[in-house]
Structure 1
Amino acid sequence: MNQQPTKTYTVEEAKRKLEAYCAYQDRCHKEVREKLIQMRMIPDAVDAIMYHLLQHKFLDEERFARSFARGKFRHKKWGKNRIKQELKQREIGTYLINKAFTEIPEEEYRNTFDALAQKRFDQLTEKDKYKKRKKLADYLMYRGWPGDWVYEKAKALIP
């Protein structure tokens, strides 16, 4: 068993590496902490580096939550339920989640839902209308759209 020695970092090296990591894209505290632990930093060093990143604006939970919500909505067409679930997994608080939702205009949210539902409906080849309705509803629910909207739209598209 020939094992590679794991790289060790000084606090300064780790700071520079994490600055680049955070500058590349917004990160949440949990991701950064996990990265530092993966780099085998001791708890005191982790705290010092986290503090440094916060002081120098490399880390900002609100900025992360806002860009995460904006990105997942615009690019992946996720609904608010899915975005909220994913942010909670990243240990983002309810207050910041609600602030992040201000990045999604209500009219654009509804229009995106309608367009996504129509696009998925057009892709479905299922002949049985009940199975087709279920497939459409499952798809939209998985993406985190409101249940009442989903069932209303499924019934409207597949009478």
Structure 2
Amino acid sequence: MDQPKATRITDVKVALAKAEHFCAYQERSQQEVRDKLYEWGLWPAAVEQIISELIEGNFLNEDRFAKAYAKGKFSQKAWGRIKIKQGLKLKRMPDVLIKKALLTIDADDYLTALTRVLEKKAAILSEKNAVKRRYKLQQYAMGRGYEADLIADVLKNSDL
């Protein structure tokens, strides 16, 4: 069975309208939009022109995207700062915007989330050996993008 052909768009105005809809639906990074425009078969000059127009029309805003991404991944998926930072780097966000986005995460909420992540995991861990149990909890939280020193503090100050 053949793969369905991706829609080819040659008219810049049609592409701009579709791209505006694409950006209005949810916050996007410039790279996501650029990839989508190339997927539609547009030339580099047209892609950059459309991206400029999207920025002028405030459909695209890297700062707004970075903050929305950080807030969403933290509140919905309980990701730690490290994992959020990696995700933003994959979206080719500038470091300065990544730093700004990470600052929007409240420190108290962050510790609460880390504690909740560890408690949930501790509840389903069957490991009896205290050292191995602690190691597994630490590895799990690091996999979720939390910092090792914070994890150690939370584990030290709790009876998980």
* TM, length-normalised to structure 2: 0.90
> Secondary structure in 2 aligned to 1:15?
helix
Residue equivalent to 1:39: 40
Is residue 74 of structure 1 aligned with residue 78 of structure 2?
Answer: no
Is residue 52 of structure 1 aligned with residue 53 of structure 2?
Answer: yes
Distance in structure 1 (CA, Å) of the matches to 2:20 and 2:38? 16
Return closer, same or farther for 1:64/1:157 CA change in 2, 3 Å cut-off: same
Percent identical among aligned pairs is 37
Query: RMSD of the TM alignment (CA)?
Result: 2.0
Deviation, structure 1 residue 3? 8.0
Residue equivalent to 1:65: 66
Return closer, same or farther for 1:5/1:122 CA change in 2, 3 Å cut-off: closer
Is residue 22 of structure 1 aligned with residue 13 of structure 2?
Answer: no
Is residue 7 of structure 1 aligned with residue 7 of structure 2?
Answer: yes
Contact 2:79-2:145 within 8 A present in 1 as well: yes
Deviation, structure 1 residue 109? 1.0
Residue equivalent to 2:100: 99
Deviation, structure 1 residue 111? 1.3
Distance in structure 2 (CA, Å) of the matches to 1:74 and 1:5? 37
Task: Tell me which moved more, 13-22 or 132-141.
Answer: 132-141
Distance in structure 2 (CA, Å) of the matches to 1:99 and 1:35? 26
Return closer, same or farther for 1:123/1:53 CA change in 2, 3 Å cut-off: same
Deviation, structure 1 residue 155? 4.9
Residue equivalent to 1:143: 144
Distance in structure 2 (CA, Å) of the matches to 1:3 and 1:144? 36
Residue type at the aligned position of 2:37: L
Q: Number of matched residues?
A: 159
Deviation, structure 1 residue 75? 0.6
Distance in structure 2 (CA, Å) of the matches to 1:5 and 1:103? 41
Residue type at the aligned position of 1:91: R
Q: Which ranges in structure 2 are unaligned for 5 or more consecutive residues?
A: none
Contact 1:133-1:158 within 8 A present in 2 as well: no
Deviation, structure 1 residue 134? 2.3
Distance in structure 2 (CA, Å) of the matches to 1:71 and 1:137? 23
Contact 2:6-2:39 within 8 A present in 1 as well: no
Residue type at the aligned position of 1:28: S
Q: Which ranges in structure 1 are unaligned for 5 or more consecutive residues?
A: none
Task: Tell me which moved more, 109-118 or 38-47.
Answer: 109-118
